[in-house]
Amino acid sequence: MENLQVRIWRGKENGGFQEFEVPRQESQTVLDVVTYVQRKCDPTLSYRFACRVGVCGSCAMTVNGVSRWTCRTHVDKVAEDNKVEIAPLRNLPVIKDLVTDMSEFFDKWAKARGRFAGATTRKDGFAPVSPESKERKRVDAGIECIGCGVCYSACDVVTWNKDYLGPAALNRAWTLVNDVRDTERAERLAAVAGDAGCHACHTHLNCTERCPKGLSPTAGIAGLKRAVLAATLAGEI
Amino acid sequence: MSRRSEVLLWGAQRISAMVLALCVVVHLITMIYAVRSGLSGAEILGRTQGNVGWFAFYALFVAAVSVHAPIGLRTILAETFNWRGRSANVFSAIVGLSLAMWGLRAVMAVFGGGQA
């Protein structure tokens, strides 16, 4: 099998691409390629990964211009003319090479009140929530987010509006808005309202198209828009 | 601008979009129907002037445009040109008021029989 021609981003924002040749392997993932480069070609290459099996959300990068989780992305599916270009995620500051500073990404989860607030203690019993209830089904649709940042990187609105909370934080807020045990619904709806919140979404669906877990943050954001408007008209926020 | 105002603007843009969708369809069908056999301007004016129903329809059309366009323009200014804040709000409001003024002036001329 012919060697793969790989271009990998080096340095910070003002860095550039460096070229490497990597032997092709069967079922080779993009993360395998990056790991080969670091172990065999240049040990100073910085990148981030942990589980290697699509659970932890650490290894997201931009591959041939598209945000992807690299551990579950096969080279066969993304190589163009036996070439792969690997860059850090978009919309986040680059620390070095393929490593981005994800502080703002997670800070926005906090701004969107992404933390559950309950009224019970560990001494109380379980809250009965029917799996068939409308709210529980909405939670199910969005709860599997692994926080990889692919949606944030793919989102045009984040590029245009740096204050925009982004798809992942809003998806998290939507799961909590539908959590019948949560006690901060009104505060959360207020936190995700307005120009930096759900109403800034243009429904481009980039997040839904790129989410490696097959979630639809767009649907959650649409739900938030309606819920926030209803709460505003009702004078709750 | 407060978050409450932002949310209400979003709501106003959504509702005006629904009105516009209906108005555009009715307008296009009417235009195609009216000119299918070559009506003259005088004939069209003869049918529209004094017609309260069409006057109300096009006044609603203009109102929806005047609400919808400046809210969208404000967002475009913010996202494309990074122009935000009071000056952008005032500019967008002036555009909206201008659209309303010119639009209603045209509606008055076509349906009310006044001077265009």
**If you count them, how many residues does chain B have?**
116
**A33 and A146 share a domain?**
no
Same domain, yes or no, for A36 and A119? no
Question: Tell me, what's the pLDDT at B113?
Answer: 60
Picking from A157, A199, A233, the nearest residue to B6 by CB comes out as A199
At position A201, the amino acid (one-letter code) is: C
* Domain boundary, last residue among A100, A115, A148: A100
Based on the structure, what is the number of domains in chain B? 1
Judge contact between A122 and A32, C-beta under 8 A: no
Of A157, A194, A233, the CB nearest to B3: A194
Please indicate, yes or no, whether residues A114 and A56 belong to a single structural domain of this protein.
no
CA distances from A66 to A85, A89, A98, A136, A210 (A): 10, 9, 14, 32, 8
Are A29 and A117 in a shared domain?
A: no
Do A93 and A12 belong together in one domain? yes
A226 lies in the same domain as A143: yes
B 33-92 residues with CB < 8 A to A: 75, 78-80
Who among A160, A228, A237 is closest to B79 (CB)? Answer: A160
Q: What is the pLDDT of residues A124-179, one digit of tens each?
A: 999 999 999 999 999 999 999 999 999 999 999 999 999 999 999 999 999 999 99
Nearest CA-CA distance, residue B56 and chain A, Å: 28
Structural domain tally of chain A?
2
Looking at the structure, tell me whether residues A129 and A200 fall in a common domain.
yes
Kindly report, residue by residue over B16-29, the tens digit of the pLDDT.
Answer: 999 999 999 999 99
Tell me which of A70, A100, A130 is where a domain ends: A100
A79 and A146 fall within a common domain:
no
pLDDT tens digit string along A67-100? 999 999 999 999 999 999 999 999 999 999 999 9
Same domain, A12 and A115: no
Mean pLDDT is lowest, of A52-61, A182-191, A204-213, B48-57, for B48-57
What pLDDT, in 10s, does the model give residues A187-211? 999 999 988 999 999 999 999 999 9
The CATH number linked to B90 is 1.20.1300
As a whole number of angstroms, the distance between CA A58 and CA B20 comes to 45
A58-75 pLDDT, tens digit each: 999 999 999 999 999 999
Please state, in angstroms and rounded to a whole number, the distance separating the CA atoms of residues A1 and A226. 53
Domain that holds residue A46: 4-100
Q: Which domain holds residue B71?
A: 3-112
Q: Are A77 and A114 in a shared domain?
A: no
ipTM of the complex as predicted: 0.78
Q: Which of A82, A100, A118 is the last residue of a domain?
A: A100
The Cα A190–Cα A188 span in angstroms is: 5
Q: What residues pair up with A74 in beta bridges, in sequence order?
A: A29
**What's the pLDDT score for residue B115?**
47
Mean pLDDT value across residues A9-22: 96
